[in-house]
Amino acid sequence: MWNFTLRCCSPELSAIYRILGHEHDISCNTACGLRINVTGAKGGRATLPVKFLEQIKEITWIILNGDKPNDFATTKPNEPVDIQDNQYEGRLRSETDASLTLTYLTNQDQGIYSANIHLRSNQICDQLYHLQVYRNLSSEDILIHPNVIHNETCNVTVTLSCAVIGSDVTLSWNNTNSPGTEVTNHTLRVYNASSDVTYSCTARNPISEASRTAHIPVTCPTAPTTGNLALAWLIALVLIVATVIVVVAVCCLCKRKKKDTRGHYRAHKGYKRRCPVQGEQS
Is residue 96 over pLDDT 80?
Answer: yes
What pLDDT sits at residue 65? 74
H-helix or E-strand containing 235? helix 226-273
Across the range 257-274, mean pLDDT stands at 59
Give the C-alpha separation, 131 to 152, whole Å.
Answer: 56
Give the C-alpha separation, 279 to 184, whole Å.
Answer: 115
- Of 215 and 235, more confident: 235
Give the C-alpha separation, 167 to 225, whole Å.
Answer: 54
Across the range 5-17, mean pLDDT stands at 48
Instruction: Let me know if 193 is exposed, middle or buried by CB neighbors in 10 A (0-12, 13-18, 19+).
Output: buried
Model confidence pLDDT, tens digit, residues 141-170: 999 988 888 776 777 888 889 999 878 899
What pLDDT sits at residue 154? 73
What pLDDT sits at residue 217? 64
Q: Which CATH class is domain 139-215?
A: mainly beta
Model confidence pLDDT, tens digit, residues 193-226: 776 678 889 999 999 999 998 877 666 655 554 5
- Of 138 and 269, more confident: 138
> Nearest to residue 157, comparing CAs of 180, 175, 134?
180
Is residue 9 over pLDDT 70?
Answer: no
Is residue 172 over pLDDT 60?
Answer: yes
Side by side, which strands form the sheet with 198-205?
170-173, 198-205, 208-215
What single-letter DSSP state applies at residue 136?
Answer: P
Is the CB of residue 71 less than 8 Å from the CB of residue 61?
yes
Give the least confident one: 102-111, 205-214, 239-248: 239-248
Sequence-distant (6+) residues with CB within 8 A of 133 are: 39, 40, 41, 42, 46, 105, 106, 107, 109, 110
What single-letter DSSP state applies at residue 140?
Answer: G
Instruction: Estimate to the nearest angstrom the gap between the alpha carbon of 3 and the chain centroid.
Output: 44
Domain limits, the chain? 11-134, 139-215, 225-261
Model confidence pLDDT, tens digit, residues 19-73: 444 443 445 678 888 999 999 999 999 999 998 777 899 999 999 876 788 999 9
Give the C-alpha separation, 186 to 170, whole Å.
Answer: 9
pLDDT confidence tier of residue 8, bands split at 50, 70 and 90: very low
Across the range 230-259, mean pLDDT stands at 81
Considering only the C-alpha atoms of the chain, give the largest distance between any 2 of them, rounded to a whole number of Å: 165
11-134 CATH choice from 2.60.40.10, 1.20.58.220, 3.40.50.1100, 3.30.70.260: 2.60.40.10
- Give yes or no on whether 11-134 and 139-215 have one common fold: yes
What pLDDT sits at residue 5? 38
Sequence-distant (6+) residues with CB within 8 A of 122 are: none
Q: What single letter denotes the amino acid at residue 89?
A: E
